[in-house]
Amino acid sequence: MTGLAQQIEERVLILAPIGRDARAAAQSLTDIELGCTICTDIADLHERLCEGAAVAVATEEAFVRGNAQIVEQWVAEQPPWSDFPFVVLTGRASSATAHVYRLRLLERLGNVSLLERPLNAVTLASTVKAALRARYRQYEVRDHLFERDLSAAKLENLVRERTVQLEQANDQLREQIAERKQAEAALQQAQKMEVIGQMTGGVAHDFNNLLTAVLGNLELASRRGQDPGIKRYLDGAMQAAQRGAKITSQLLAFSRTQRLQTEPIDINEVVTRMRDLLVRSIGGTVRIETILDRNLWRAVADAGQIELIILNLAINARDAMKEGGRVTISTANVPEGQATRSAELPPGDYVSLSLSDTGTGMTDEVLRKAFEPFFTTKPVGSGTGLGLSQVYGISKQSGGGVSIATKVGEGTTVTVYLPRTTSKPVLRTVESRDEAPLTVHRATILVVDDDRDVRELATSCLETLGYHVLKAEGGRAAIDLICSETAVDLVLIDVAMPDINGVETIRAVRKRRPDLRFLYMTGYVGATPLDPSEKRVLNKPFTLAGLAAKVEEALFPADMTRRSSNVFSINPARPRQA
């Protein structure tokens, strides 16, 4: 409270319109250091009371001469804490009328002290001081009530704020619970897929080794056989084995353990290049539409695997539209923070490839199992159930993801997300070497593989090509052989082996022979830290021509002139040993 406001609240109002009573009373109170304000009439007193005062000293005739009702109304409307004190100076008249009038003042004004005139200054001062003390106590009550109300208001505001905060916290908690349920469901799905992937990858690895031996031996027999009838049987067996190799490739794709040759690619170009193939694959009853983003970013992926994704999705879409329909292939940029992107994607920018159909759609139960290998809704003999699992594995191994939006009776949209890159696409030409003429070289090659059938097949193929071949059944044996000063020009080594894998073996031997050339064989990398940029890799199962080309590339990576003195042609039907 300011000094002026405090002075107003502590002042004494004096109303004595007749004679010198007002000045005399003011002088007496001023002498004892009390602030006084003299009022001219009842209206002036009412106005001062409204401004604020501690006590009023008035003569009884002032109420008779003026409109006392406005003061009485003010008294009646006081706040609950206030009981304003009046000191009324009366005369000596003791008539019945005077007595009734004084009783009326006591009743209407409430807190009234009557002083009979003439009175001395001490009596007036003591009475006014007593009234002031009472008024100050009222002020204390007022301040206390104000503080209480203020505290109550603060408490109410605090309760209101806390209520809002609790509601917000409850909303956040509900959202977190919902997100947690989704995360738990996603984690359970991911764990399930991981377990299935590990099991699938292990099985595919074993079958890959078997098929490598089968295909390789069939090819050797086919190249050496002269009887057309026998050759026909061998070709049929090879075709069946190649179908098995395709299935193992799909299983390895799902388990994310196949080796991808990732590079910057233009997804629009891949889609455009495949249009004729898609038209031939899905038939004339399905219309193909493309919606390609003209400003599409480049993606990091294996172009061949992306073609497999598009082909698998297109065939699935065709099978979901028995009476024909429409397939829409679209591409788009998916920047980080976009609301429509899949929640499972790691932070970063992505390129999306979507394929939508107008088919039957999927139920929730089918959707939950859609990516599992060998799960299919198609009739027996109409599919292996590996198409979507392969899409899932390739997208995950490429560093992206895949999502499905579907509704029964309205169709399905499968969206594949691939990481964005700012590098320029690499222009490549594809050449088939399966029918290329074979050449042989004079060199010593060490074959290292824990699988005896694969090891013997690689040995036979290399000997057919004229190489001198040494064998080791594991990494330890290979290290001991090389460290024994044995002349070895090239090490052909399996990646996934027990005890010590191929990568660790090569690191060990190159510490002693830094110039030693090597070529990895792999059909299943697993957890082996094989650098994705490593080009010295021969994928299982391999053909004789593929092996010949890779070995030649590993032995003579740059100097083409070195070949002329060591190379001579052989008849594929009658191989010559070096």
Q: Is the Cβ–Cβ distance between 37 and 11 less than 8 Å?
A: yes
% residues pLDDT > 90 (the chain)? 29
Lowest mean pLDDT among 5-14, 233-242, 282-291, 395-404: 233-242
Q: Is the Cβ–Cβ distance between 100 and 5 less than 8 Å?
A: no
The pLDDT score that the predictor gives to residue 434 is: 45
Q: Is the Cβ–Cβ distance between 356 and 330 less than 8 Å?
A: yes
The pLDDT score that the predictor gives to residue 259 is: 59
Half-sphere exposure of 307 (CA within 13 A, CB side): 15
pLDDT higher than 90, residue 136:
yes
- pLDDT band, residue 429 (cuts 50/70/90): very low
| Average pLDDT over every residue of 408-431 | 78
Select the more confidently predicted residue: 241 or 149: 149
pLDDT higher than 60, residue 546:
yes
The pLDDT score that the predictor gives to residue 527 is: 57
Q: Is the Cβ–Cβ distance between 453 and 215 less than 8 Å?
A: no
Which DSSP category does 472 fall into?
E
The pLDDT score that the predictor gives to residue 574 is: 34
% residues pLDDT > 70 (the chain)? 76
pLDDT higher than 70, residue 533:
no
Most trustworthy range by pLDDT among 46-60, 436-450, 497-511: 46-60
Is omega for the bond preceding 541 within 30 degrees of 0, making it cis? yes
pLDDT tens digit sequence for 273-313: 888 888 887 877 889 999 999 999 999 888 888 888 888 88
The side-by-side arrangement of strands in the sheet containing 36-39 is 36-39, 12-15, 55-59, 86-90, 112-116
C-alpha–C-alpha distance, residues 395 and 416, integer Å? 7
Tallying the residues shown for the chain, one arrives at 578
Q: Is the Cβ–Cβ distance between 308 and 347 less than 8 Å?
A: no
**429: which residues sit within 8 A by CB, 6+ positions away?**
none
The pLDDT score that the predictor gives to residue 294 is: 92
| Average pLDDT over every residue of 176-194 | 70
Domains assigned to the chain: 3-119 (3.40.50.2300), 261-421 (3.30.565.10), 439-569 (3.40.50.2300)
Q: Is the Cβ–Cβ distance between 375 and 385 less than 8 Å?
A: yes
The pLDDT score that the predictor gives to residue 68 is: 85
- pLDDT band, residue 436 (cuts 50/70/90): very low
Most trustworthy range by pLDDT among 197-206, 270-279, 382-391: 270-279
pLDDT tens digit sequence for 51-98: 999 999 998 888 877 788 899 999 999 999 999 999 999 887 677 777
Select the more confidently predicted residue: 401 or 337: 401
The pLDDT score that the predictor gives to residue 129 is: 93
State the pairing for strand pair 12-15/36-39.
parallel
Select the more confidently predicted residue: 524 or 63: 63
Select the more confidently predicted residue: 554 or 182: 554
**211: which residues sit within 8 A by CB, 6+ positions away?**
241, 244, 245, 248, 540, 541
| Average pLDDT over every residue of 186-212 | 63
- Vertex 261, ends 315 and 422: CA angle to 5°? 100
Q: Is the Cβ–Cβ distance between 474 and 454 less than 8 Å?
A: no
pLDDT higher than 50, residue 433:
no
Label residue 374 left, alpha or beta by phi (over 0 means left) and psi (-120 to 50 means alpha): left
Continuous H helices in 261-343: 267-282, 303-320
The pLDDT score that the predictor gives to residue 224 is: 66
Mean pLDDT of the chain: 80
Lowest mean pLDDT among 136-140, 201-205, 332-336, 364-368: 201-205
pLDDT higher than 70, residue 577:
no
- pLDDT band, residue 193 (cuts 50/70/90): low
pLDDT higher than 90, residue 11:
yes
Q: Which of 480, 461, 563, 435 is nearest to 521 (CA)?
A: 461
Q: Which of 459, 454, 431 is nearest to 546 (CA)?
A: 431
Select the more confidently predicted residue: 250 or 33: 33
- pLDDT band, residue 187 (cuts 50/70/90): low
pLDDT higher than 80, residue 331:
yes
pLDDT higher than 50, residue 572:
no
Most trustworthy range by pLDDT among 91-100, 317-326, 563-572: 317-326
pLDDT higher than 90, residue 329:
yes
Which DSSP category does 571 fall into?
B
CA-to-CA separations, 190 to 183, 256, 396, in angstroms, rounded: 10, 13, 11
The pLDDT score that the predictor gives to residue 397 is: 81
pLDDT higher than 70, residue 226:
no
The pLDDT score that the predictor gives to residue 323 is: 83
Q: Is the Cβ–Cβ distance between 383 and 376 less than 8 Å?
A: yes
Q: What is the DSSP secondary-structure string of 384-434?
A: -S-HHHHHHHHHHHTT-EEEEEEETTTEEEEEEEEEEE-SPPPP------T
- pLDDT band, residue 195 (cuts 50/70/90): low
